[in-house]
Structure 1
Amino acid sequence: MRTKLLALLVLLSTFALPAFAADYYVDVTNNTGYQIDYMHVSPADAQNWEEDVLGNNVMPNGTTQRVTLTGYNSSIFDIRLIDSDGDSYTFWDIDVSEYDLIVKPEDLD
Structure 2
Amino acid sequence: MTVLSAAALVSMVATTALAQSRQDFTLVNRTGYDISEVYVSPSKADDWEEDVLGDDTLEDGERANITFSRAGKTCLWDLKVVYSDDDSSAVWHDINLCRVERVTLRYNSKTDTTSATFD
TM-score range, shorter chain: 0.7 to 0.9
| Matched residue, 1:103 | 105
Displacement of 1:48 in angstroms is 0.7
Note the alpha carbon deviations across 1:61-94, whole angstroms, 9 max, x for none: 0111111123100121100000112121111000
| Matched residue, 1:31 | 30
After TM superposition, list the pairs within 5 Å mapping 1:1-109 onto structure 2.
22-23=20-21, 24-70=23-69, 71-84=71-84, 85-99=86-100, 100-105=102-107, 106-107=113-114
CA distance in 2, matches of 1:104, 1:59: 13
Which 4+ runs in 1 deviate beyond 3 A? Answer: none
Q: Mark the runs of 5 or more structure 1 residues left unpaired by the alignment.
A: 1-16
Instruction: Return the TM-score normalized by structure 2.
Output: 0.69
Which has the higher mean CA deviation after the structures are superposed, 42-51 or 21-30? 21-30
Q: Percent identity?
A: 27
Displacement of 1:95 in angstroms is 0.7
**RMSD, matched Cα:** 2.3
